[in-house]
Structure 1
């Protein structure tokens, strides 16, 4: 038996259009109903959008792997994320995506070297210094700490720049605003709200938030882009500055580099922060799992600096993280669209129809998991079919930074658990919301006691 972490209780039946509009403005999780967790495929028809939700593993494989060209990334997703990400690998398709992925590949080969590990470790050490400043047994809002440390890791590994605390708060506040307003903008588009009204209701606020983040990144990138020939850094930005397109002999333009770094910042800090927060939450609820993880950590390295080989040895802690990723996948849905007419099970999709593959639903589906809502790290001792477990995506578009994220997460968790015992604040229930990522809208209040 495992513990059963909180998740939003689904509605007993499908909501009507007006209720859907009101519920999903805040979080797409609020619009789910009981059948969502049992169905193999479903349809949500809205005034401006026809959306098909696919949970069937065979159909998921068709969409994400076998017929991937027939189900490109959603145009609407690209439009929604453009104020922050520009034209980046996260939302592009076809030849543009292929070229961008190829140009980014050398940068991610770098993430395997020890220098990146050391940068992650130094960010984790600074995080631990911040935690040690609290009196023993304090209730700490750990979500903001996870968001800061993962953003700091990205700044250090991509741009060799520590994240300043004041600048960090400004960027992270802007990102929260961008997430909230993007969720609202999406639902307004689904319901054909006119653009002028959308601008009044928050679209301008969203654009400004995206601009704040891009300016912070641009201020670091611009001088290095202009002086790239004398750039002596050994980081991901340096790799991007010197990467040349084999077919054209051209380097990335400044805007292209800014777009890719913005994407790496979003995908690299936000998703890992979400996953770490939910892992700490699950461990705070499951004291047996926490003790088991602690025992493993101190048996490998009781009090020294963790090495790469230490992190690779932490099999149980890795399973803990994988199980938190199952229960709270950071990207709860992958948005695609049908390039032409297509058939999904018994449903016919028209050209341009929206298609959603939702890890949130697949990871909690009654047909695919024993006690799907329970936290059971030992599930991951066995091989799980990729179509049923996909926190990093599936197929050719699987997250390019998967190895980076896993290594970073285990470093951060091992540091925290070795030094602190975690207990959830009495009576605290997280407010689980689905926006761009799955987060807790009221933070995560955890009592941290020194071991």
Structure 2
């Protein structure tokens, strides 16, 4: 990493208060219901690995080489934990995000061409048009404070619905969005039974994972798939066209309607939520550091001249890309991932037993004092050099790296550049966001910023 000489002493961007004393089972349960990240010991930012027992044995791994072993060398020995699968399966079934082994591999092979560089580039005009609409909404709201977190959710949902359902019959965007929010709120209710490692067939009190909104969300996807099958593609293929045409190059197998629906919902749920969070945190950080914002705006004006012509412009916005990378480091949407060891193993010189929960606390990894200079500071210029591999995991790594990473980064850069080109963002006193993770790392209370046209 670069030698990052400190500026004048200043307040740091908001951060999660990590644990400095043992919490015990009940204390951990209380914390995890409020903010999953508050169970991470502060020690995790200074040690390569820590272990303990809270009902079940667990390990937190921050050593890049041990993480490499989990994500590449012993991938099948560390599948997603039962807790993770139980939380997500009701909405996205056995899609790419949850499936394991051969069922995951054939779906990945079939879906990989969907997110090729050419296909992602072809979708950039839809991203640019959504960015323009966001600029117009903020401008029409008049001077004053704007909750850019809500605005970014609206904008990225427009993108994902446009690139998924383009040319199809109208659908209830608000209804689908409400269903997603309700689902995430219900899914995030971590149970004491989860922490005790009880079997997944034991009911979790208070967690209702089905019902009207979720059923309606699936019906919308099924109708869209059936409609597209009947009428075929029109114009530039969108995500649904590409998924319908996709096949496993080895077996020639294609996804059936249920598999298409589960993966479509995965892209909708994950694709807009995570990018919206990245943009909200990026805008918060730009408002926090006006010097960074000024540099980014100058770059946007020089390249965009008021709007983005096409996705190729993203390559000419390197500083704005650095801001996005730094926001993903400080506030990774998937800030903690959990695996269940299938076999005895040794990670970082420490024994792992079959059935142990093995976590990668990405929030702590990205702020680790042995891996990053000034880890809690906002320093986009650190991205002039690449970090150590497996020290930076906003999209995971290895064979299961997020299939939509290039889509998300292109979208974030396009929208952020458009917003910074149109407005100067400044903080609203007394309205600092609080980083809270339920399933994703959200800014509790929103990100309230003043937006002044420039």
Deviations 1:242-301 (A, max 9, x none): 233455544311100001101111221111111111100111110110011011111223
1:202-258 per-residue CA deviation (whole Å, 9 max, x = no partner) reads: x22565553343233333223223x16x44352111122223345554431110000
Identify the residue that residue 270 of structure 1 maps to in structure 2.
Answer: 273
Match of 1:204 among 198, 205, 208: 208
Instruction: Tell me how far 1:35 sits from its aligned partner.
Output: 1.5
Structure 1 residue aligned with 2:3: none
Give the distance between the partners of 1:68 and 1:373, measured in 2 at CA: 30
1:125 aligned residue (101, 121, 132): 132
Bigger mean CA offset, 33-42 vs 169-178: 169-178
| TM-score (ref. length: structure 1) | 0.92
| Structure 2 counterpart of 1:144 | 150
Give the match for residue 24 of structure 2: 16
Determine if contact 1:5/1:374 at 8 Å carries over to the other structure: yes
The answer to whether the Cα contact below 8 Å between 1:69 and 1:94 also exists between their aligned partners in 2 is: yes
> Offset of 1:306 from its aligned partner?
3.6
Q: CA deviation at 1:45?
A: 1.9
TM-score by length of 2: 0.91
Question: What is the CA distance between 1:355 and its match in structure 2?
Answer: 1.3
Assess, with a 3 A threshold, how the Cα gap between structure 1 residues 105 and 417 changes in structure 2: closer, same or farther: same
1:260-409 counterparts in 2 under 5 A? 260-409=263-412
**Cα distance in structure 1, aligned partners of 2:281 and 2:404:** 19
What is the aligned-residue RMSD (CA, Å)?
Answer: 2.4
CA distance in 2, matches of 1:163, 1:294: 38
User: Does structure 2 retain, via aligned residues, the 8 Å contact 1:111–1:404?
Assistant: no
* Aligned-pair CA distance for 1:105: 1.4
Give, in angstroms, the shift of residue 366 of structure 1. Answer: 1.1
Q: How do 1:166-205 residues align onto structure 2 when only pairs under 5 Å count?
A: 167-191=172-196, 200-201=205-206, 203-204=207-208
* C-alpha displacement of 1:74: 2.4
Unaligned runs of 5+ in 1: none
The 8 Å contact of residues 329 and 394 in structure 2, kept in 1 or not, is answered as: yes
CA distance in 2, matches of 1:163, 1:311: 31
Residue number among 35, 51, 56 corresponding to 1:43 in the alignment: 51
Match for residue 54 of structure 1 among 42, 56, 61: 61
CA contact (8 A) 2:109 2:249 kept: no
Q: Is the 8 A contact 2:80 2:98 kept in 1?
A: yes
Distance 1:422 1:142, change over 3 A: same
Contact preservation (8 Å) 2:81, 2:338: yes
Could you tell me which runs of 5 or more consecutive residues in structure 2 were left unpaired when the two chains were aligned: 1-5
